């Protein structure tokens, strides 16, 4: 877009020339050329720029309109933008322009509220658009004007005001509640409908007496029935139950949501009354609720599931089971089935065998939630059969359920399940045996000892011993660590810390760090770090062993050792971690080692080491973005001028994810300098995620939520 004369002379174009060039580009028939022209408008204030952008709000291309909204919302002088946008609201011949102007005003936010209120008070034919903009902004200072607009002579303005009030606040003040209540007495249906819907969005409790006249009106029935759900009056229940069988689907669905909402707000006695009424309801109510489980509105589906659970009818159970596959309804359907209690057992046991395997497994996982009803022997028998007949995740869910509700009789079937050639199932069965071992320790230990920690089941049995073991049982695992099978050695190694952490165990784990298997070595590293005594007088031995493991040729072992040193937090490890953080390596995983070393260093020193701060400052210019991000996170714990300057510099990084980390780290630093830097970056930032992070950071500063950690002065 640079003229040839400018290229020849090398002179920068004047602001007037830039605006004129953009104006010409906006006449191009190609919408991409027009959009790019707006994007290339330089940041900052340009005379004529607002007029140009407001004109582009009426462009035929939504992409051009969107770009215009973005630029207007980021304009450095809101006082110069808002009047032009308000003037655009009066363009009755271009709906797209008016809607785009409302969107831009919404993006400007609070600075637009005062001028919009003044424009409303001045009158005119575009008052509805002004009210729409005030509602979209949602600032509390506009509430008096919106309440006043509920009495506007124009019916469309009144309805828009009611709708705007419904979106302005989740905790409406009394004047809003009173204004919406008065609107219910107006003669026009549009205002009353908008007021009813606004009241429901805000959760306002409208008395039954005020709602009863609207229940029979064909236009208001749906909204009036939904509002009943917030009345908190159990006397409204008969009207809602009648509405559950209404000929109109919208009315039925509104009643479902209303009863669901009411039931959720009532005390125990009121809730029992609702449930008893539902249980006395006829088959047509249950049928309607089952059908509503397929509604588009998730509130309707969730409400239907809850109400079906309250009916306790066997006819509803299959529908609730089918609803378990709906992610948006799953929790409500689960709670509804559990609410059946003992009466669910027979029906579930009858239908579960015919279900799809994935859904069958979900039902298995529900059995332990039935409370005392889960002790029904039919459930245990069903789950034991599933261990042998089902496969994969379904059988694993049956094993997990047995771990919750099984008894001594289920120990042997679970033990046999360990022989199945299915890793997921073996893991679930071992975990179930571990859970049951908390209640039946002697029986489980006897079964494990009789089988022995040898053969295909040995890894799983090692984990069972780790779950149930008591002091003295470590000898079983120490013996298994001498197995020829590396998988057995790994399982024994990882299970030891749960039982004991004495010198014999430390010696065995230290020896395992030299194992020929990388998996065993990594397991030994993790086990050493998790020993109960790893931070007491034995810490030196453990730390030295972990430091030695950082030299391992397998990067998985070295990284495990680095992370373990970070979790232990022993200063003895700082020297080696500094070496790893500073030293680049030719190995492909070298950058990963460095990043983990940086994170471990930060955890160990907690922002109190000048040496570590210097390391971090040296690394923020590294070519690998992961190392840069780790360094920036670490610098967030320091509050020196150098650290803050480095973090502010990170706001200019080419990668968006690095800039986002710099923002998050700066929140910890605080101060006027940081706030100025964030505001400046916010004006120029193009990435939405980074911009949102800056907005949240500035919000925390405004609330006083960011300050240096107490008890430690800023590092200088």
Tens of pLDDT, residue by residue over 349-375, are 999 989 999 899 999 999 999 988 999
Q: Kindly tell me if the per-residue pLDDT of 503 is higher than 90.
A: no
- pLDDT recorded at residue 138: 87
Among 9-13, 528-532, 624-628, the range of highest mean pLDDT: 624-628
707, two tokens: 């300050």
Residues 120-147: pLDDT tens digits?
A: 998 888 899 999 999 999 888 899 999 9
Q: Answer yes or no: is 10 within a domain.
A: no
Tell me what the pLDDT averaged over the chain comes to: 88
pLDDT band at 7 (very low <50, low <70, confident <90, very high): very low
**Phi first, then psi: what are they for 713, rounded to 5°?**
-65, 155
Q: Which residue has the higher pLDDT, 191 or 167?
A: 191
- Enumerate long-range contacts of 113-116, CB under 8 Å, 24 or more apart: 113/137, 113/139, 113/141, 113/142, 114/141, 115/82, 115/83, 115/86, 116/82, 116/86, 116/142
Domain assignment present for residue 197? The answer is no
Is residue 337 predicted with pLDDT exceeding 50?
yes
Lowest mean pLDDT among 20-29, 63-72, 313-322: 20-29
Domain boundary among 311, 340, 369: 340
Note whether residue 359 is domain-resident.
no
* Tens digit of each residue's pLDDT (9 = 90 or more) over 514-573: 999 999 999 999 999 888 765 554 578 889 999 999 999 999 999 999 999 998 888 889
61 C-beta neighbours (distance < 10 Å), count: 15
Residue pLDDT, tens place only, 676-710: 999 999 888 888 899 999 989 888 887 665 444 43
Is 505 within the bounds of a domain?
no
Of 578 and 531, the one with more pLDDT: 578
Looking at the domain assignment, is residue 296 inside a domain? yes
Determine the pLDDT at residue 9. Answer: 44
Residue 322 belongs to domain with CATH number: 1.25.10.10
Domain boundary among 288, 312, 340: 340
Number of domains in the chain: 2
Query: Which residues, 6 or more positions from 595, have their beta carbon under 8 angstroms from its beta carbon?
Result: 624, 626, 627, 629, 630
Report the pLDDT value the prediction gives residue 660, as an integer from 0 to 100. Answer: 95
Q: pLDDT tens-digit profile of 447-482? A: 999 999 999 999 999 999 999 988 889 999 999 999
Mean pLDDT confidence for 608-633: 91
For position 671, which CATH number holds?
1.25.10
Contacts of residue 216, Cβ cutoff 8 Å, sequence gap at least 6: none
Structural domain boundaries enclosing 691: 631-716
Whether 508 is in a domain gets the answer: no
Indicate whether 590 pLDDT > 70: no
Calculate the CA dihedral of residues 124, 125, 126, 131 and round it to 10 degrees.
Answer: 80
Confidence of residue 712 (pLDDT cuts 50, 70, 90): very low
CB 433 within 8 A of CB 450: no
Q: Which pLDDT score, from 0 to 100, does residue 119 have?
A: 92
User: Would you say residue 248 lies in a domain?
Assistant: yes
For 281-305, the DSSP string reads S-HHHHHHHHHHTT-SSHHHHHHHH
Compute the average pLDDT of residues 481-496: 95
pLDDT, tens digit (0-9, with 9 covering 90-100), for 69-121: 988 888 888 888 899 999 988 877 788 889 999 999 999 988 999 999 999 99
In the numeric block, which tokens belong to residue 476?
A: 């079983």
- Predicted structure pTM score: 0.72
From residue 174, alpha-carbon distances to 100, 169, 178, 373, 460 in Å are: 33, 12, 6, 48, 63
Which of 322, 340, 358 marks a domain boundary? 340
Q: Which two tokens stand for residue 275?
A: 């449930």
Mean pLDDT in residue range 569-579: 91
Residue 307 lies in a domain: yes
Q: How many CB atoms lie within 10 A of CB 384?
A: 21
According to the model, what pLDDT value does residue 533 have?
A: 62
């Amino acid at each position: 877009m640079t003229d040839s004369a400018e290229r020849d002379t090398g002179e920068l174009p004047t602001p007037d020339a830039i605006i004129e060039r953009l104006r010409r580009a906006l006449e191009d028939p190609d919408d991409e050329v027009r959009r790019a022209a707006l994007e290339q408008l330089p940041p900052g204030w340009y005379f004529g720029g607002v007029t140009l952008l407001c004109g582009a709000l009426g462009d035929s291309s939504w992409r051009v309109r969107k770009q215009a909204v973005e630029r207007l919302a980021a304009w450095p002088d809101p006082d110069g933008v808002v009047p032009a946008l308000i003037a655009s609201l009066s363009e009755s011949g271009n709906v797209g322009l008016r809607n785009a102007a409302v969107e831009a005003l919404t993006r400007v936010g609070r600075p637009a509220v005062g001028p919009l209120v003044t424009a409303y008070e001045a009158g005119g034919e575009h008052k509805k658009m002004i009210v729409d903009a005030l509602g979209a902004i949602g600032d509390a200072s506009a509430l008096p004007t919106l309440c006043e607009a509920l009495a506007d002579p124009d019916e469309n303005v009144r309805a828009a005001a009611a709708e705007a009030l419904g979106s302005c606040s989740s905790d409406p003040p009394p004047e809003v509640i009173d204004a919406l209540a008065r609107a219910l007495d107006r003669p026009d249906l549009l205002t009353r409908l908008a007021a009813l819907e606004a009241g429901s969005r805000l959760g306002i409790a409208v008395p039954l007496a005020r709602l009863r006249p609207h229940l029979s009106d064909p236009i208001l029935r749906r909204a009036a029935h939904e509002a009943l759900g917030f009345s908190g009056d159990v006397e409204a229940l008969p009207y809602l139950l009648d509405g559950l069988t209404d000929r109109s689907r919208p009315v039925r669905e509104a009643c479902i949501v209303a009863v669901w909402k009411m039931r959720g707000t009532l005390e125990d006695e009121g809730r029992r009354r609702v449930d008893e009424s539902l249980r006395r309801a006829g088959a047509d109510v249950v049928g309607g609720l089952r059908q509503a489980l397929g509604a588009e509105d998730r509130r309707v589906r969730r409400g239907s599931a809850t109400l079906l659970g309250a009916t306790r009818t066997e006819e509803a159970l299959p529908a609730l089971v089918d609803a378990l596959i709906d992610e948006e309804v799953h929790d409500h359907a689960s709670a509804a089935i559990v609410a059946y209690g003992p009466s669910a057992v027979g029906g579930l046991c009858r239908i579960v065998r015919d279900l799809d395997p994935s859904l069958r497994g979900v039902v298995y996982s529900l059995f332990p939630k039935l409370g005392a009803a889960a002790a029904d022997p039919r459930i245990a028998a069903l789950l034991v059969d599933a261990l042998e007949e089902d496969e994969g995740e379904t059988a694993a869910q049956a094993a997990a359920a047995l771990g919750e509700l099984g008894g001594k009789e289920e120990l042997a079937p679970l033990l046999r399940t360990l022989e199945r050639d299915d890793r997921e199932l073996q893991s679930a069965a071992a975990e179930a045996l571990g859970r049951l071992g908390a209640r039946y320790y002697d029986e489980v230990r006897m079964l494990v000892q009789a089988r022995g920690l040898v053969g295909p089941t040995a890894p799983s049995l090692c984990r069972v011993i780790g779950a149930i073991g008591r002091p003295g049982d470590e000898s079983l695992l120490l013996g298994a660590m001498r197995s020829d099978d590396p998988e057995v050695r790994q399982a024994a190694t990882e299970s030891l810390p749960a039982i004991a952490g004495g010198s014999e165990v430390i010696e065995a784990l230290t020896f395992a760090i030299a194992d020929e298997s990388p998996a065993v070595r990594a397991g030994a590293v993790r086990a050493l770090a998790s020993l109960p005594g790893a931070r007491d007088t034995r810490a030196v031995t453990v730390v030295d062993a972990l430091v030695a493991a950082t030299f391992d040729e397998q990067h998985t072992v070295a990284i495990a050792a680095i992370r373990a040193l970070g979790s232990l937090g022993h200063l003895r490890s700082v020297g080696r971690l500094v070496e790893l953080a500073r030293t680049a390596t030719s190995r492909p995983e070298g950058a990963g080692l460095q990043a983990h070393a940086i994170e471990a260093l930060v955890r160990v020193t907690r922002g109190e080491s000048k040496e570590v701060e210097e390391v971090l400052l040296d690394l923020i210019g590294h070519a690998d973005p992961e190392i840069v991000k780790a360094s920036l996170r670490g610098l967030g714990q320091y509050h020196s001028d150098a650290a803050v300057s480095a973090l502010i510099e990170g706001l200019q990084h080419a990668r968006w994810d690095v800039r986002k980390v710099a923002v998050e780290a700066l929140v910890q630093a605080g101060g006027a300098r940081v706030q100025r830097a964030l505001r400046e970056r916010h004006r120029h930032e193009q990435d939405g995620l980074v911009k949102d992070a800056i907005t949240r950071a500035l919000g925390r500063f405004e609330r006083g939520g960011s300050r240096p950690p107490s008890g430690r002065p800023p590092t200088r």
